Chain A
């Protein structure tokens, strides 16, 4: 299983304007969060999955694999909202008495947690569309266009590159410790982790020094220069598609609020 940006670098959509893809991901995301309704979330999920898997070239297996982790977190978070405390058993669908109160699931908490799951998954699908179709360089290109501070962009680029280097090193160090039984037992595991963290920091500092030397050797001027990338022009059809999609979402959201609005009130 490769990392997401490897799929992005192979995606058929990698050459489309990253600014447009950001709009395509972020505007529906905001609408979803704003309404928090089921139909808006479902439509968003459906459209994003279509765009990521069928148009964006991400394999199904990979996409589902990557959805698992956020799904896990979201479900755990939803459980917190699902279980409520009430003074009596009346409003609870199922529940138990613990101490002076009753803990259980009420109709409202059930609907709220389901709506939250849908909303959050829709948000994840929006961001996954962006991540699976846009290489890092594309995102940085857009940030430059909107005149984000250059220091931040350079930091993003360097952090992105060296996360992989450092995580690779950390992985190897962990393996080297494990095969020497460094993680048997809690105390030993803590000790080994501490050693790993300290050494990783030291190595990172030393590598930073060497990287700076290498930059100097190639005439570093103090700013990381940028080679402009060519991106394909956005077709008018795609823009109208986005406008239509968003109008549909807003329409569905308002409709659902009117039809089901009283479901959430008691």
Chain B
């Protein structure tokens, strides 16, 4: 079932550039969908359109089967069900301490002080920032701030969480930490996840469906296996194959070995053992 549908959306910047051109996407409920695209492909603009911060000139956005309204009340209802985690946590965290910032969302939704307190602690535990609740925000590292930003969105218990470049600027431990966190959220609450990234090596590990965006258009769509079966298309739009898939491609085309085009280390290991046995 499609939780979010983008239908033929066109958006033009005030300055005149066309950001989104006849874009149609679907986000399936309970799955992780990734938007791949080079910088400037329109991913962030699309997210702002989904949340009603920008309004498309034409086209329709449907959430949970209903078209998204433009009135204040409808937009607030929509934003309580879709959470957006911005790329720079310093844009999102505004409060004097961590606890107040995570509490911002639930309090805006009208929850009681007691209920908010419970949600803040739960979100903080889930994201691993429980010990940081009383710290001032400027004392946190970048990775910790990212987790606090995610906690702030989690506390609102949205059905869909959109993350704009969640792993940008993180060290390897931080990257796998965030992606594990998202997997846990999906498993525990059935939350639908949408990610914009150009960290292509994450895609085969964590994502169920992928779209490739370029200059505001969807170039291709499919499962990660289907996307990576078209390396020339990816390269033409500023992307590349995951390293393992690239290796398999070279082994097949240059060395004429009989390997399947896998994209994960586990798959490569199986292929190598198969070749040797």
Contact = CB atoms under 8 A, between A and B. Distances in A.
Interface of A: 2-3, 5-6, 9, 14, 135-137, 140, 157-158, 160-162, 164-165, 168, 207, 210-211, 213-221, 224-228
A210 to B, nearest CB: 4
A228 B134 contact: no
A227 B138 contact: no
Interface in B57-95: 76, 79-80, 83-84, 86, 88, 90-95
Contact of A9 (B109, B116, B134, B156): B134
B136 interface: yes
B109 A210 contact: no
B101 to A, nearest CB: 9
A224 B83 CA distance: 18
A165 B89 CA distance: 11
Across the A-B interface, the 5 shortest Cβ-Cβ residue pairs: A225-B107, A164-B138, A227-B103, A219-B108, A210-B91
B137 interface: yes
B138 A3 contact: yes
Given A137-B97, A137-B100, A210-B86, A217 B91 contact: no
Given A137-B100, A220-B108, A227 B136 contact: no
B105 A214 contact: no
Interface residues of B, number: 39
Contacts, number: 102
29 contacts: A3-B138, A136-B97, A137-B96, A137-B100, A161-B93, A161-B94, A161-B95, A161-B96, A161-B137, A161-B138, A165-B90, A165-B138, A168-B138, A207-B91, A211-B92, A213-B53, A213-B91, A214-B91, A214-B94, A215-B94, A216-B79, A217-B53, A217-B83, A218-B104, A218-B105, A219-B105, A225-B107, A227-B103, A227-B117
Nearest to A167: B138
Contacts of B139: 2, 6, 9
Given A217-B53, A218-B153, A14 B134 contact: yes
A211 B100 contact: no
B139 to A, nearest CB: 5
Interface in B122-170: 134-139, 152-153, 156
A216 B83 CA distance: 11
